[in-house]
Homo-oligomer: A and B are copies of this chain.
Amino acid sequence: MTATQVIRERRSIRKFKKGEKVSDEQVHLLLEAAMLAPSACNTRPWEFIVLRNREKLDEIRSIHPYTNMLETADLAIIVSALPRTQFKAIDSGFFPQDCAAATQNILLEAVAQGLGACWCGVYPKEALIGQITKILDLEAGVVPFCVIAVGVPDETGGSRGFYEEGKVRFI
């Protein structure tokens, strides 16, 4: 599929074919896509956890109210931010948008691989950050940014996105 098509076909997938696997090669392609996102001054303020451990996936489901699709997902990728990599006046504070660009690349690469994904926000919700830090035993300074459920889609239907003329101004 062309990039133009993939961008238009991407949607949040909340039901996956249970038991159908995402291959290690596919996981590698997702992570490679993530790390090719741009970042402020090329600081690359991110880390990734590939979570296949069913117990931990269920723990996240139990504390994050919008991650029910993890029940059927084969795995989750947790994108974590490293704010400490951005300490200069020029690049400080950009880490949420850099991690978001990496996340968007994962979602698009998933579609390109015939997979589905759902972006579940964590940052900047303090309670969720604290709970996921504990579940995944993250080091100090590593901030869980989002949980991406990944699997083989078991639902169809178009994207909810659309072009809105009223949101554009020409100068």
Contacts and interface: CB of A to CB of B under 8 A. Distances in A.
B49 A29 contact: no
B7 A167 contact: no
A127 to B, nearest CB: 10
Identical copies in the complex:
2
A159 B36 contact: yes
A40 B119 CA distance: 9
Given A3-B108, A97-B121, A171 B50 contact: yes
B108 A48 contact: no
A68 interface: no
B100 A35 contact: no
Q: A interface, by DSSP: helix, strand, loop or mixed?
A: mixed
Interface in A46-66: 46-53, 56, 66
Given A10-B36, A12-B38, A97 B94 contact: no
A119 B171 contact: no
Interface string A1-41: 11111111010100000000000000011011101111010
A104 interface: yes
Contact of A28 (B1, B36, B163): B163
